[in-house]
Amino acid sequence: MIFTKYLKRCFTFGVFEGFQMTEEGGKEVEDFDMMNVEEEVERLKEEIKRLGQIQPNGSYKVTFGVLFNDDKCGNIFEALVGTLRAAKKRKFVAYDGELRLQGVHDNVEITLEAATVTLA
């Protein structure tokens, strides 16, 4: 059960891009509710606004280390890196490279694009 949930998340966030599921496993992935990804991306945007600094162009910047080490983010996101990849794929955030690792990439800036910032 837990492994199945993990696989669903991996496929949803594009970890296995280009990989085809088997017949018996494919149904479960198709049934996974994509709203969870959209909700997590929206939550990520809120957290970047909370933790980041607003820029003159209206965007927000935060480092990966700040996001990763924040207790609230740790409780919200099961897979922060996967959520970041989903947000980048949807062009809500920008950062250099693809993979983020704790420690190694703590100083990498993540930018919440100004066009995606909504007033609350």
Predicted local confidence at residue 109, as pLDDT: 92
Pair (56, 104) in one structural domain = yes
Pair (21, 39) in one structural domain = no
Pair (62, 110) in one structural domain = yes
Kindly state the tokens that stand for 12: 């949803």
The CATH number that applies at residue 79 is 1.10.10.1540
Pair (73, 17) in one structural domain = no
Pair (93, 40) in one structural domain = yes
- Residues 93/47, Cβ–Cβ less than 8 Å: no
CB-based burial label for 39 (10 Å; 0-12, 13-18, 19+)? exposed
C-alpha closest to that of 117 among 29, 51, 46 = 46
**Residues 6+ positions from 120 with CB-CB distance below 8 Å:** 46
d(CA 23, CA 26): 5
Predicted local confidence at residue 1, as pLDDT: 47
Pair (28, 39) in one structural domain = no
d(CA 63, CA 51): 9
- Mean pLDDT, each 10-residue run in order, the chain (120 residues): 56 52 52 70 94 94 92 88 92 86 81 74
Q: Which domain holds residue 109?
A: 35-116
Pair (27, 44) in one structural domain = no
